[in-house]
Amino acid sequence: MRCPFCNKDNTRVIDSRPAEDNNAIRRRRQCDGCEKRFTTYEKIETIPLIIIKKDKNREPYDRGKIESGILNSCHKRPISVEQIEKTIDEIENEIFNLELKEVESSVIGEIVMKKLKDLDEVAYVRFSSVYREFKDVNTFMDELKKILDA
């Protein structure tokens, strides 16, 4: 690691600890040349992910869209922010564990629905009614019957 003060290449790690909810490593370094200290952060580099929409358009992955959909589905439900964040993290991990550069939005939608079904059935029905574009009450009732039968 190059020193930001004197630009020498000889630096050493003097302290290392987890940072940002264990998603990064914070390292205190000291330059062997000028002996000044500085901090670096080491994070996992993720694959840039492209989402293939229903209309075949492509756009970059956006965690905010999943958050928005789940927050709307969980509105006024007895679900904590921690549970929602944990669910979103699990969804994101499952998506990135596919190790694909492009993922169809339908795959993401199914992952979200599976996680919501485990989290809260009302939130699941809310999300699926928008995601599956229920056209009438009968379609909605069919989905409810599936839940009740399970």
- pLDDT tens-digit profile of 92-145? 989 988 989 999 999 999 999 999 999 999 999 999 888 888 777 888 788 888
Q: What is the pTM of this model?
A: 0.66
For the record, the structure tokens of 13 come out as 């790690």
Question: What CA–CA distance (Å, rounded) separates 73 from 123?
Answer: 5
Q: Number of helices and strands (H, E) in the chain? A: 5, 6
Domain limits, the chain: 11-43, 50-149
Taking only the tens place, the pLDDT of each residue in 32-79 is 999 999 999 888 766 689 999 999 999 999 999 999 999 999 999 999
DSSP 3-state of 81 = helix
Provide the 8-state DSSP code for 8.
-
pLDDT of residue 22: 77
DSSP 3-state of 105 = helix
pLDDT of residue 77: 96
Question: What CA–CA distance (Å, rounded) separates 127 from 118?
Answer: 13
